[in-house]
Structure 1
Amino acid sequence: MIGGGIAGLAAAPYLSGAAGGPARAAVTLLEAGDRFGGKLLTGEVGGVQVDLGAESMLARRPEAVELAREVGLADVLEPPGTAKAAVWTRDALRPLPAGQLMGVPGDLAALAASTVLTDQGLRRARAERPQPAVDQDVAIGAFVAARLGREVVDRLVEPLLGGVYAGRADEISLRAAVPQLLPIAQRGGPLVAGVHELLDRPQAAGPVFQGLRGGIGTLPVAVAAACRRAGAELRTDTPVRELLRTPAGWRVVTAERLIEADAVVLAVPAPVAAALLAPHAPGAAAELAGVEYAGMALVTMAFRRADLPLTPPGSGFLVPPVDGRSIKAATFSSQKWDWLGRAAPDTFLLRTSLGRHREEAALDLDDGELVARSLADLRAAVGLAALPYASAVTRWRAGLPQYPVGHQARVDRIRAAVAGLGGLALAGAAYDGVGIPACVAGARRAVAEVLTPLPGAGPTEGTMGA
């Protein structure tokens, strides 16, 4: 495997046998950076271990939770203590309305009760305008605005999508980002009624999201340890310079060694994959080079509870860009995660996020300025007047791939161009979803692909070098 983010790491257990199945190959995993895990990272803030990257995983999609169990973390899975979120809009915290899907309402009564929209915006949403059936990919912002009005997009869809992609609703693909809405779009039926029907279907039992005591950043550590116990070789600080074709498979070139491999799983950001694939699949490389990324900064702060007359309510709040604030979201970590409250009962931890696609100037501000801007918005939103006794700023430059209109067609073209190479598969957030479960599912798909020989070729099991 090349790439030690969660996708590359997730592929390794299914090849090495660390996930509990049979060992399928000798595995070497190479990571250019100094650690494994990508956007999954824990660190210490104010003497408390806390996530500095992704903090939860969708449990209704099982792949990530299954991986955690397979590497010995079943006993530390823990759902959020509260999921009661708000929207900070029009100078007030307003409850995130129930009965919505990525901000698209399926319950107009709940939408009205939330007061997120102005009276005019609510009247427009109630007067849904029928639209023709959609036979091609569209931006989710335009799709919703035409039916329910611009305010639903600006104050609900935009902040929710921004929390996932750090992108823009008027550019993000409906097909790629919210595929549940695709059947509604294709039949041209009422949108609110269609979302209500979707949400009214029986759901799997259990929590919607899961975390891990100690932080989601402990997952890559556990996966790496399980793979090493199974005999896999995992190396950091080892960037791959070149991929060469050989009669038996691939030669992976690093600064220190050459690795002969029967097959390669390429789980790296799109620009890196483009450079490595350019000599072998120039069409795929050109498509990959066109994938854009968004950057964001996370500001994590630790307060003494004794300094807080009241703790902020709920799990946090989202901020619509239309309101012109510095932060785009705040998470009250000690409220959201009971394990944090137990680990540090005298500390209140929260974090804010700043930056989105093509609005990333915040990442170039110094840490003190980012903390100051976060505190100013928190004071305006929830009356937080205390100062933190510790803080940490984590910058994720080019952290989130964007899924614009046509993204899925681009991914299909990339995979078609790579398919004929044999013994090489792609995985990672740039393809089928940016969430942890989607990355794990993509890793499984890549494993299946490299273990399936091309017609007329011999078996590919053997050495998964890099």
Structure 2
Amino acid sequence: MTGRPPRVVVVGGGITGLVAAFRLRQRWGPEADITIVEESMRLGGTLRTVTLAGGPFDVGAEAFIGRRPEVPALMDELGLSAQLVHPAGLRPLIFSGERLHPLPARTLMGIPADAASVDGLVDAQSLATIAGEGDTELSWDRTSDLSVAELVGSRFGAQVLARSVDPLLGGVYSGLSDSIGVRAALPTLAAALDAGASSLSAAVASVLPAPSSAPVFGALRDGYRTLIYALVAAAAPRTLLGTAVTSVRRENSGWVVDSIGQFDAVVLAVPAPALASILGSVVPDAAAAAAEIELASSVVVAMAFDTAVDLPDNSGVLVATDAGLSAKAFTLSSKKWSHIAERGISLVRASLARFGDTGPLAWSDEQLVEAAVRDLHRVTGMDSAPSSSFVQRWHGGLPQYAPGHVDRVAAIEAAVRDVDGLAVAGAWSHGVGVPACVASATRAATRIVEVAR
């Protein structure tokens, strides 16, 4: 790249790819030739804002962890600080046993620190099992990993999984406790167990975060599209939509990307299966590890109710996996967010399908709306029909952090580390949330710039 502006291609136009392109533009200035290649016909990936009932509404990720700094810092860089909003402070509920229950306190991803945490949510036998868990010898292997279901189910029983743990894991990963590993999803818990915690209860209690008045979540007043538009404007890339990348290869000290052209460097900000396909011949060790990461699909049904409806005064409802509903959760958006409540209508998001459950994705839009309304009525008693709706299918939207995920990610990163001019990033690596993707993109861009020096 000596003596001329660098040419870089970012494969993947989701939030990770857009942030990577923005970071490269920041470091290299207006002369750099930055191209984004995106397989679909739009940018943003699993961030999507649509117009519903006359206003913006997110039908992908709707919020980010507010206690992480990455997104507020990025918004500040882009001049979007005035867009930052926080929830109204209402608590979510869990629907189980045909009743609504408060979300248990003193839990870590739904894993209770003591029996009192889930009193009323699980039966007396389960409560006794939790209370006596400390008297049972804990077998934990510091050298291996296991699923959350294996650990928690063996110590606390099936009801804790179905009614407390799985609803939360479904919200984060669109998965279940048997598809998610302890070390990747719950690293602080794994560290406490590695350090010799005497029981699961003791381990959970030792890593519970200190009480804080700081908002847990944040969002953008006008939806994530505001962030997407700002990133595209600031990164100013050449954009190729509807273009799939199937391979890259080294040639003449650079990289040839399919038939798109030759570049000095490549950032692959794509889902793990696509990463495996692209790297198959050039970095086979990374490809093999990436191929082991599976994806979950889901559906969001967004609904607007123009008439006054009787919704719980809560931020949302998580659904126990033994409740027999199609929906796994409802976000009561006009309750959760004050800026949405200002619109004077009721807005609700229903989420359906988890890892391995592809049935709802094959339903028609009408069937999905009917299922969402039917389940909402069962959960809340509300019997109104929506005045408008929007259905969003997310095929392969979230990676599953299965047992051994930490080792797979380490293998991918180690294999790519020795290849000049190549960086990888995405939700498959160090967290599925938007802040983690921003951090992943920043690391990838930094690597490209440093190697180019």
| Cα deviation code 1:145-171 (max 9, x no counterpart) | 222222212211111011111112023
Query: Shift in Å at residue 196 of structure 1?
Result: 2.6
Aligned to 1:440: 438
Aligned to 1:456: none
Aligned to 1:338: 338
Determine the C-alpha separation between the residues in 1 that align with 2:313 and 2:125.
28
Cα separation, partners in 2 of 1:271 and 1:130, compared to 1, 3 Å? same
Determine the C-alpha separation between the residues in 1 that align with 2:428 and 2:197.
29
Determine the C-alpha separation between the residues in 1 that align with 2:359 and 2:254.
44
Match of 1:273 among 275, 279, 282: 275
Aligned to 1:245: 250
Match of 2:102 among 84, 90, 95: 95
| Cα deviation code 1:150-203 (max 9, x no counterpart) | 221221111101111111202311111111111222113233233233225475
Aligned to 2:46: 39
Aligned to 1:353: 351
Aligned to 1:284: 286
On the 8 A contact 2:108/2:204 being kept in 1, the answer is yes
Query: Shift in Å at residue 139 of structure 1?
Result: 0.9
Determine the C-alpha separation between the residues in 2 that align with 1:24 and 1:105.
54
Aligned to 1:11: 20
SS at match of 2:258: strand
1:173 aligns with 2:181: yes
Determine the C-alpha separation between the residues in 2 that align with 1:130 and 1:350.
45
SS at match of 1:37: coil
Cα separation, partners in 2 of 1:58 and 1:24, compared to 1, 3 Å? farther
Q: Output the amino acid matched with 2:402.
A: P
5+ long unaligned stretches in structure 2: 1-9
On the 8 A contact 2:106/2:112 being kept in 1, the answer is yes
Determine the C-alpha separation between the residues in 2 that align with 1:271 and 1:132.
34
On the 8 A contact 1:76/1:212 being kept in 2, the answer is yes
Cα separation, partners in 2 of 1:392 and 1:189, compared to 1, 3 Å? same
Aligned to 2:112: 105
Determine the C-alpha separation between the residues in 2 that align with 1:32 and 1:217.
19
Aligned to 1:206: 214
Determine the C-alpha separation between the residues in 2 that align with 1:317 and 1:44.
24
On the 8 A contact 2:301/2:350 being kept in 1, the answer is yes
Alignment of 1:173-192 (within 5 A): 173-186=181-194, 187-192=196-201
Cα separation, partners in 2 of 1:24 and 1:66, compared to 1, 3 Å? farther
Q: Output the amino acid matched with 2:18.
A: L
Aligned to 1:320: 320
1:396 aligns with 2:394: yes
On the 8 A contact 1:41/1:218 being kept in 2, the answer is no
Determine the C-alpha separation between the residues in 2 that align with 1:97 and 1:120.
18
Query: Shift in Å at residue 206 of structure 1?
Result: 2.7
SS at match of 1:452: helix
Cα separation, partners in 2 of 1:24 and 1:127, compared to 1, 3 Å? farther
On the 8 A contact 2:24/2:449 being kept in 1, the answer is no
Determine the C-alpha separation between the residues in 1 that align with 2:137 and 2:371.
42
Determine the C-alpha separation between the residues in 1 that align with 2:30 and 2:129.
58
Aligned to 1:120: 125
Q: Output the amino acid matched with 1:206.
A: A
Determine the C-alpha separation between the residues in 1 that align with 2:290 and 2:174.
19
Q: Output the amino acid matched with 1:370.
A: L
Determine the C-alpha separation between the residues in 2 that align with 1:95 and 1:178.
23
Cα separation, partners in 2 of 1:49 and 1:425, compared to 1, 3 Å? same
Cα separation, partners in 2 of 1:408 and 1:200, compared to 1, 3 Å? closer
| Cα deviation code 1:226-255 (max 9, x no counterpart) | 212xxx43443333353221232212234x
Q: Output the amino acid matched with 1:240.
A: V
On the 8 A contact 1:6/1:439 being kept in 2, the answer is yes
On the 8 A contact 1:184/1:190 being kept in 2, the answer is no
Alignment of 1:421-436 (within 5 A): 421-436=419-434
Determine the C-alpha separation between the residues in 2 that align with 1:110 and 1:411.
34
Determine the C-alpha separation between the residues in 1 that align with 2:125 and 2:199.
20
The two structures, once aligned, show a CA RMSD in angstroms of 2.0
How many residue pairs get matched? 440
Answer with 417-426 or 294-303: which moved more. 417-426
Aligned to 1:80: 87
Query: Shift in Å at residue 395 of structure 1?
Result: 0.3
TM-score of the pair, normalised by structure 2: 0.92
On the 8 A contact 1:133/1:189 being kept in 2, the answer is no
SS at match of 1:323: coil
5+ long unaligned stretches in structure 1: 454-459, 462-466
Query: Shift in Å at residue 142 of structure 1?
Result: 1.3
1:304 aligns with 2:311: no
TM-score of the pair, normalised by structure 1: 0.90
Determine the C-alpha separation between the residues in 2 that align with 1:393 and 1:93.
26
On the 8 A contact 2:300/2:350 being kept in 1, the answer is yes
